[in-house]
Chains A and B, each alone.
Chain A
Amino acid sequence: MPRNDVLVDADWVEQHLDDPKVVLVEVDEDTAAYEKNHIRGAVRVDWKQDLQDQIRRDFVDKDKFEALLSGRGIANDDTIVLYGGNNNWFAAYAYWYFRLYGHDQVKLLDGGRKKWELDSRELVEEVPAREKTTYKAKEPDTTIRAFRDEVIESIGKKNLVDVRSPDEFSGKLLAPAHLPQEQSQRAGHVPTAKNIPWSKAANDDGTFRSDDELTELYQGEGVDFSKDTIAYCRIGERSAHTWFVLHELLDQPNVKNYDGSWTEYGSLVGVPIEKDV
């Protein structure tokens, strides 16, 4: 897919701040970040409260997703521009999720909140009032979502890309190092997975590297573009970032994000695990 169809830069966003058919949506791990300030006109989606079922571990169903977008004043023909902190991890997760429910016109702000802040661009506290809509979602597109059984069957067959940091991959850490390490699951990685940290796909300011650099990165690390690919991390947000790179920027056809990721796999009874420490 041409990069311009899925990615916009900060200048583009500034030029469309008053475009009623462009809706900015902020998605953060730190859900209080939006309350402090945000890009003018942006609405918030809380990845935990809004995008997860509050009882089962799963997505919200189609009805709840429709209610969420309707309540935020997002229409089916609106262009959604997602951005957030953590180098767009959760914005990329929301991008993948919105695609899963069939929203076509969705883009990521390159560099997310970080690049915007480093550029000292305008942030406001005012929460916009958008009129409610009647949003209609499609049935979930599971061609971009992997489940645990498929991951186990893919060992040694498909490209498995573990996008966590080297220390999480090897089993030295159980969570990204901005979080406490107390966890119940086993440490390590899925056998035959390649460790290609999400961060290798991004520049220091959070923007994506060029298509040529990205192609060289994944092929250089042993990803076979003639095979299907499953990306995973700890909870599926960093791997959504890599899914975006492989599926949306590099136009690879069969790439899935395994959102169960290590918190599920590392808790399964009887599955193979490789650990380097």
Chain B
Amino acid sequence: MTSQLCHIERIIGDRAEPGLAHRLHHLAHEGRVETVTVAVADLPRRRFRAVTDQGTECAIALPRDTRLFDGAVLLLEDDRAIVVKVGEQEWLKLRPAEGFALELGYLAGNLHWRVRFADGHLLVAVDVPRERYLARIEEHLAAGRVTLVDG
């Protein structure tokens, strides 16, 4: 099993770089560009196993100062390439009622949620099933102190 592993120890570059893009374009025409999908929450990982969309098992061990990104080229051979695709990040968009923003911010920090702010809304990164986030603010949703926007 180990002998079939594709060992990857560096990022060759960004698929958008002209030199790489040209070679990848040709390989893609022949269906030889494989994709490894990495969840946003897993991007900081330096060592992990992954399987490409074409079934190649990869053993990825990157230098500590390297960070994965969407479009990172991990392998580029004459007849094959492997490129990273970052999974989409889902966000919960929450609107606090007037006077409740501070408390909602405190709650999110206390629960160690990853958040962003936009137009008076709190965006919470969905790293575990969304029901688990909603369960934590159930009372506030019911009382109208927080509103879930867009679903």
Bound pair (A, B) = no
Chain B interfacial positions (CB closer than 8 Å to A): none
